Amino acid sequence: MQTLPDTLCYLNGEYSSLRDAKVSVLDRGFIFGDGIYEVVPVYGRRLFRFDEHLARLGRSLAKLRIANPHSPEQWLERSRKLVAALAEKAGAEDQLIYIQVTRGVALRDHVMPTDIEPTVFMMASPMKHATAEQRHHGVACVTARDFRWERGDIKSTSLLGNVLARQMSADHGAVETVMFRDGYLTEASASNVWVVHEGAVLGPPKSEHVLEGIRYDLIRELCEETGIAYNLRPIPEGEVLAADELLLSSATKEVLPITKLDGQPVGHGALRGKPGPVYARLYEAYQRAKAAQSI
């Protein structure tokens, strides 16, 4: 049994040790996975693109018909308190703030009750950065059919499909599983996927099959800043396999090069199997954004 860290968390209006926090066994998040979550990166004790994360949290809540339980000011105040507590206790300057909202506690019934209070949970944890070796050499990924449900646009706590997909890559010593639905790229188990073709960055269009990662708009902004063409369109599996570069993006990975896919090197010529120039430019621009867009 894992020993939980003795760090501060927030649960339904109270701050307590993570070891002591408890929810009802009839919480619909436990029974049905009926809830949503957000993960906000923190750099140097400052929250990165916090407004964008709150906006996506609001969209997910609205799609599940759960009223947002806090104002933006309340979310910010509570997040900052958890950041300060973890920095004080563990010396962690770079962190992740995890926010989860479930529909609340009710007798088990599939129908959504309307007279219950949402369960709100928040915690901070140290950020695990990509390693220098991963950034220098890139990472390996595997591919799979996207077998998850049809509402990938909701950042739901019902993540069993993502867990199964991520385990497929772990079983092969890879860091991610790149998925395809009906022959077209969707996303990875916990990351967005980008294709570089002739110097342009391509991504799947926003749809119910793809979570609109916070980095979707960020990558677009970084491409504009660095003069890289950017386009969202359906991407056939063949284009992914023939890409000049492949990239992952997420809160923890930032932007990370895929240099091996299903055991085969990514790319062409002298850069085959190596991080490419588009990745290098986007990574440097990402570091500048972290300094400019954190509060």
Give the residue numbers annotated as catalytic, written as ranges. Answer: 155
Q: What stretches of 111-205 show up as alpha helix (H) in DSSP?
A: 132-137, 160-171
Question: Is 264 exposed, middle or buried (CB count within 10 Å of its CB: 0-12, 13-18, 19+)?
Answer: exposed
CA distance 242 to 260: 12
What does the block give as tokens for 206? 């926003």
Residues sharing a CB contact under 8 Å with residue 76, sequence separation 6 or more, in sequence order: 47, 50, 295
Max intra-chain CA distance, the chain: 62
CA distance 100 to 23: 12
Residues sharing a CB contact under 8 Å with residue 186, sequence separation 6 or more, in sequence order: 146, 152, 179, 180, 204, 209, 210
